[in-house]
Amino acid sequence: MSKHRKPRSSRTSRTVRGLVVATAITAGVLALPAAPASAAPVTIPGVGTVEVPWLPPVPQGSAPQSPAPAVPESVVPKVPAPLYTHGQRALDAALSKLGAPYVWGAAGPDSFDCSGLVQWAYRQAGVSVPRTTYDQVKGGSPVGRGDLQPGDVVLFSGAEHVGLYAGDGIVVHAPTSGQPVKRAPLDSMPFFAARRY
């Protein structure tokens, strides 16, 4: 068997081939557009910084922004629900009776006097409140006028009248004969004291 040898190319053909490859590379490099002045550098971990011509440049002194990673729901803190107090429940009950008639000595569910409305509303919230204004002013905890919260019991005119604080300077009360349960400005009556049950 004879040995097969690869035919040797001539020196001329090698030179021509090298010239063709070199020309193609040079033509390709010359044909590539230069990176525009607006190319932005991008840092790729483990690779380095690379100019990317189609990205706008990053202003001097600021780092490129990357999207925030998704945070698992188990890590997001839960915001507690608003506190729903006995006072708020009593206020909601009293608000449900807006327009109900005033009847002296009545404590609901269809008609009320001032202290009867307060007692009935708190009963709906599961809290026992005394029947008369003079006893209501002695119960619960004292509250300053500047610390009123919705549902606080507000007494007027030396504890002769009472209502529930509704927030924003408003009370809900059963005013007097001929006037139904309604809202009124806190300042429309002489403030005496406030209690929180």
Domain extent listing, the chain: 86-196
Please tell me the distance from the alpha carbon of residue 90 to that of residue 99, in angstroms, as a whole number. Answer: 17
Catalytic (active site) residue 38? no
| Residue pLDDT, tens place only, 55-79 | 565 566 555 555 556 656 666 667 6
Closest CA to 124 of 94, 102, 151: 94
Query: Catalytic residue among 121, 129, 136, 161, which?
Result: 161
Please tell me the distance from the alpha carbon of residue 153 to that of residue 193, in angstroms, as a whole number. Answer: 8
158 Cβ contact partners less than 8 Å away, ≥ 6 residues apart: 192
Q: What is the DSSP letter of 38?
A: T
Query: Catalytic residue among 93, 94, 100, 114, which?
Result: 114
| Residue pLDDT, tens place only, 155-194 | 999 999 999 999 999 999 999 999 999 999 999 999 999 9
Catalytic (active site) residue 4? no
Query: Catalytic residue among 115, 125, 136, 173, which?
Result: 173
Q: CATH class for domain 86-196?
A: alpha beta
Say what percent of the chain tops pLDDT 70: 61
Q: pTM for this structure?
A: 0.60
Burial of 154 (0-12, 13-18, 19+ CB in 10 A): buried
